[in-house]
Structure 1
Amino acid sequence: MGVRRHQDYGFFGPDSVTWRVWSYPTSLVLGFLRAVVIEELDPHLVASVDQSGQVKQRPKLRYDRTMQYFATVKFGDAESVLRASDTLMKIHSRAIGLDPVTGGRYDANDPASQLWIHLTAWHSILYTYEVFGPGKLEPEEEARYWEECALAAEFQTIDPADVPRSREGIRAYFAAYRPRLVGSEVAQDMMDFLLDANSIVLPDGVPAPVRILFNAVTRRAIIATMPRWMRKLGATTQSGLTDRIAIATARPFVRLIAASTWLQVWALRLASPRTAPILEPVMRGIPPVRPVVREPEEARAEYGIVDPRTQYQELLAARARLAGPDPYPLHHREALIPFPA
């Protein structure tokens, strides 16, 4: 099978810490699932997920498309990143409604909600890289990682100035956000569903013993990386001994896959076929047509794509004039467009 070359390195490139951390095998399952499990504790987010009904109706498709989006932002060429960001912005424009737990109104494009998802993902990917992979980054490398996290925020409605630039800043953010989190029945149910990784990641046809073993290890390994207070909110408690066994069991498998490009490509194609064309050129070291790293402002001018923050302000103004898009109906089935709602 031929591998399609990207047009350029996008906005990060091979010298970035982002490429090193996000291309490591922990991102594909452990890091991604840790992020989406924790995200469900936000009552606004889980209300949006629950009312759309798409995660439980089509879990494999949603996983595949969400991985595709994440990979595009980090590893795709500049035009692909901007068009993916623009598509997601438009999908999210209809993901609005009422949160029955708090009585508040959720809006998938709200910058505060986007920041919660963004930081949970970037922290989870880094943390699982540390726990199951090579270990902690050097201080200078970690500083670069959070700077690159702020750059990635430009492709959502987030103000990059709101992104912490250090581990201490990330901890302070989560501590400040903690009072907003709720371990509701809906949140706990969704977290439990997402922790059953075999139904989300593994394709049909995988033998039952493999599915059972895969799920037992990944579920416990993900929980082992979660703070105790989050486990309590999510009703996902387990003992410290189980934590240690799960990590010790998962770590050698992750490192085995990391040692082989062939195994990484095989696992990627198996788990997320839509992501493979984006990440495979990076895994195989295939250079793009133009081996340059782009700047967001310059690329937006070239491709004529407005940044998400500006689009969001225009959307809010349109809603104020009662001209905005209608929210999705309950348990809608959206069209099979390339990126996740």
Structure 2
Amino acid sequence: MTSTGDVGLFGPDSVTWKVLREPISILGGLRSLYLQALHPRAVAAIAQNSGYRADPWGRLDRTSMYVETVTYGTTAEADQAASRIRRLHARMTATDPRTGETFRIDEPDLLRWVHVTEVESFLTTARRAGLDLTEEEVDRYYTEQLRSAKLVGLDPTSVPATAAEVTAYYEAMKPELSLTRDSAETALFLTVPPVPASWGSRPLRLGLTLGPTRWAYFGIAATAIGLLPPWARKIYGGLGWATTDLSADLSVRGLRLLLKAGISALPERYRVAPKRREALTRAGLA
């Protein structure tokens, strides 16, 4: 089959497609939220503007759809999705709880932090789960992701474009990061989110629930936390030991194998996300 249309911002030969076709990338999304919560202004903006507490699973679904559209949609679809996000953010402000200052949530510094933590988390999670990438592919992935950064309103020249630049960016950001009340509450919510009753959990005190689904999610959240850089775990009050990294690597590799086995058991039409299937068709690879 030959190519019949626009394959979007990246295409089948991109490292971005190679990374994000991994089902384990959803764990990278969770890891990025723990990282984002360490930026006092970023987490204040989320706490004051987002409805994630009232509808966490709906927000997760909408965020996943945005990432899927930007990754696999046509150029027009990606532009349209990003335009909606930019218009939404342009109307929002938040108050810095430390200074009382009001700020726009689409400030470049905040957009850059969210972008870098997200794309780095997808990549790091996939690699630690066993995805084999060369150093050249890693740098190419970050360079490709400048297109995503531009979509949300960032100047691509201001965004880290290689692994070395991402490392330097994190080093420069460390003095600005801390554990605030918003950070702690967000991290707790990410670790113990409400689970629909239909998922087989029973209520406990403090509004928590317990059951097979809860215990499974605990393991997933613990793995996401273990995948954080040692300096981030220390801010949360955890340990930066290498043994934590080793156990997280073993856990995420096991999760990747389980996901692959589970997906392979599904009927063929459910094994590939709709947007990816459409992109493969346009690329002549379906």
Is the TM value for this pair above 0.5? yes
Question: Is 1:139 the counterpart of 2:135 in the alignment?
Answer: yes
Q: Is the 8 A contact 1:44 1:105 kept in 2?
A: no
Name the residue aligned to 1:48: 45
Check conservation: 1:26, 1:128, Cα contact below 8 A.
yes
Q: So what's the TM-score if we normalise by structure 1?
A: 0.72
Counterparts of 1:176 and 1:263, CA distance in 2: 45
The reply to whether residue 152 of structure 1 matches residue 148 of structure 2 is: yes
Q: Tell me, what secondary structure is at the counterpart of 2:91?
A: coil
Determine the structure 2 residue equivalent to 1:296: none
Structure 1, unpaired ranges of 5+: 1-5, 270-274, 292-341
For the residue of structure 1 that corresponds to 2:103, the secondary structure is: strand
- Greater CA deviation, 12-21 or 159-168? 159-168
- CA separation in 1, counterparts of 2:141 and 2:50? 34
The aligned counterpart of 2:14 is 16
Matched, 1:172 2:168: yes
Contact 2:129 2:253 in 1 (8 A): yes
**Normalising by the residue count of structure 2, what TM-score does the alignment of the two structures yield?**
0.84
1:216/1:112 CA distance change after superposition, 3 Å: same
- How far apart are 1:140 and its partner, in Å? 1.9
C-alpha displacement of 1:262: 4.2
Structural mapping, 1:206-245, within 5 Å: 206-208=199-201, 209-237=211-239, 241=243, 243-245=245-247
2:138 maps to a residue whose letter is: E
User: Contact 2:24–2:259 (CA<8 Å) still a contact in 1?
Assistant: no
RMSD across aligned positions (CA): 2.8
User: Structure 1 stretch 98-107 or stretch 211-220: which is displaced more?
Assistant: 98-107
* 1:240-255 matches, cutoff 5 A: 241=243, 243-255=245-257
The one-letter code sitting in structure 2 at the alignment partner of 1:20 is K
- 1:97 — aligned with what? 94
Residue 260 of structure 2, aligned match among 227, 236, 258:
258
Distance 1:263 1:140, change over 3 A: farther
Task: Indicate which of 123, 127, 133 corresponds to 2:124.
Answer: 127
Secondary structure, aligned partner of 2:12: coil
Preserved CA contact (<8 Å) 1:48 1:108: yes
Corresponding residue to 2:24 among 22, 26, 31:
26
Residues paired across the two proteins, number: 272
Secondary structure of 2:94 counterpart = strand
Q: Residue 68 of structure 1 aligns with which residue?
A: 65
Does the 8 A contact of 1:220 with 1:242 survive in 2?
no
Q: 1:144 and 1:254 mapped to 2: Cα distance? A: 23
Please name the residue that 1:109 is paired with: 106
Offset of residue 219 of structure 1: 1.6
Q: Is the 8 A contact 2:191 2:218 kept in 1?
A: no
Deviates more, 1:14-23 or 1:42-51: 42-51
- How many Å apart are 1:24 and its aligned residue? 0.6
8 A Cα contact 1:114 1:156, kept in partner: yes
Q: Percent identity?
A: 29
Q: Secondary structure at the match of 2:281?
A: coil
Q: Deviations over 1:238-293 (max 9, x none)?
A: 87655544442342231242367545899x89xxxxx94323445xxx412x76xx
Distance in 2 (CA, whole Å) between partners of 1:238 and 1:109 is: 32
